[in-house]
Structure 1
Amino acid sequence: MARLTRAQQQERTRAAVLVAARREFAEHGYVEAKIDRIAERAELTRGAVYSNFTGKRALYLAVLVDDVERARAAAAPPAEALASAGQALGSFARVWLERLPFLGDTPGSGHLQLRSLSGVLGTEPARAALAELVRFEALLLALALEPRPGVPAGTVRRAGLALTLLHGAAAVAENAPGVGDPFDLARAAEHLASIALGDDPEPAHLTYVTPARPAEAPWAPPAGLRDEITGRQVDLGEDGVVVVLGAGRLSAAEDALRSAGPEDEVTVVVVTGDPAETGRLARLRIVDLVGCLRRVFPADRLPRARVVFDDAGAVPAALGHLPAGGADPDADLDLTEIAIRVRGGLVTAHATGRGAGYAAARHPSLDPGRSRAL
């Protein structure tokens, strides 16, 4: 029998740790789980566990990410689109609510099924990133609900209300399994699609955003990146807008998407200074949402934006904002905002700082006939 390579052995060890960790978290929950018991279950040393995962929090998030990636891969698209936004929102709620635990489930297994983060996020940056992720999830749901090319702010707010309803139901079910009728919750979500909220004007701060700098620079984007919504490889050299956002600034994607033209391909590149924890948190939330969307919306009705995870910081490095081969220790990647407009293989506009995506999306195209989406 051929000997395993170092990479193959490491992958086998990592898989064994994940299996053991899932059993440990299902039996004991996150708080009471022990790394020593996980190592014993996997028939490995404690050091072998820590050589693959930085700690219990990173390991728990890895287990949840593994679960949602499997669920997304198994998600079968519907035969056809639903007739109205209300029906689509109700169907989304029914799919999402399948995670609610039953009365007989153990607390640990129920928490895993819920993708529970109770007691997991102990730092302010992690909680801030979660708040940004919730807003980004509402944006992605709204993009699926609203016909293209644009998405009004009111639709994003209604999507946010629906997600608040669902997460609230999950918080109750976590401590009192069996409480709440999923069918009633789905009907309530369906009615949220028609609630009158109005479309807010552009946020006041956008008036003060520095315009993007005109450019005419060659663009050699990193290869091998994948759109998490479609699963296809992404070519960042295509015409459009590329917005690089830290996990703590993801809500800024809404301003960029609402300001882009109907012909623009908009790609949101998610970066973080802590791929093991904040990066996994971002992947968990976004992949989980996309898995639900795939079961409700046909491929041509999935969110218009492309979403790319860039754990290595390859895209900001290619734009000259990070040293090649590693993150800048003095830079807070979770607060990153960088955006470019690409046309004909060239970077034609470049913006950084607050509102960078908005600035790049608003920058005039070489095509004088370009119009805004809204």
Structure 2
Amino acid sequence: MHKHRLLVKPMGFVSTTDCFVSVMCPYLADSKNNDANILKHIIASDNGQIKSWLQKDDVVIVDRGFRDSIDLLEELGIQTEMPSFLKKGQTQFTTEESNTSRFITKIRWVVESANGRIKTWVFFNHVMPNSQIPYIGEYLRIVCSICNKYFKPLSSGDPQEDQLLGCKIIYLCKQNNLLKEKIESENLHRIRSSSWCKIDAASVDFPSITEEDLRNHTLGVYRIKLAKSYVAEHVTENNDFEVLVHKQENNLICAKMQSRHVSARAYLLWIQYDEVTVLGWFCKCRAGAIIVGMCAHVSAVIWYLGYARCLNIPYCSGDDWTKYLTDARNMPDPEIIDESDDSDCIEE
């Protein structure tokens, strides 16, 4: 129960070609019915005859919410792939862990996109009366069948380009982050005035890149969509954006980016480049060692230096909605009353 509403939860299986294989529901949406427990129940009760179409050596891509059901799937001979968890005392994923997790999420995006299609149906995008609970499962299966039959594929790109992208990701997964190794081995993460010089980003001789070049680096568009809001928080009213340039290596810059999750936390990042393109990157955030794509902090800096500031139109930050709000902390100055003008004042 949440806000006096009974919540129900479906469990869907989606193929890599964005087709709904099966949908089981409705399940209760409480702590005892998390993703892992629901999957265990589906397998134990053979719900939807799952054991007839889920075969040995099949590969199942899951998110972190299914971690407690991994052992059961592996006992059935099913291969599972899931993003990594930070180990106790670990503050950052290794390059291999970051790369593998990005590889998994790159494949699993079809699940979120397919689920998003369900909400395009007005019936499922609103609160339903409790009297519809007995029929929700059938309604949902009908809608998913219609999506399979009549909706266009979510991925309608060039198959050859998709295959090249897959090969690129597989290759990058096996590589090390050379800039990370350089930063750590040469102690460049210690920002000293003897090694680094603070300048405005407008003075950095950064290569001009296109949005397509940036998509090739990020391996997607989500990070690019976040870049504008990230940069807007760091650009001053005079459109100044400060970075640090290494005194011995002019093609190596350092910047500090604010976390969008924790206001009191900021991350240092480094970017290496030449006259034509970006050569490497490393950030101190959890996924900052990644080279299969990049974190949002790095992509924001590259987006600004290589693309946004090179536009002919002035840089435009994200909409500042706070200008329409009143901050109670900004108290007006107290009114000063001159007692000499008080007609009721009586001198003794």
Q: TM-score, normalised by structure 1?
A: 0.22
More helix by share: 1
Higher relative contact order (CA 8 A, sep 6+): 1
Q: TM-score, normalised by structure 2?
A: 0.23
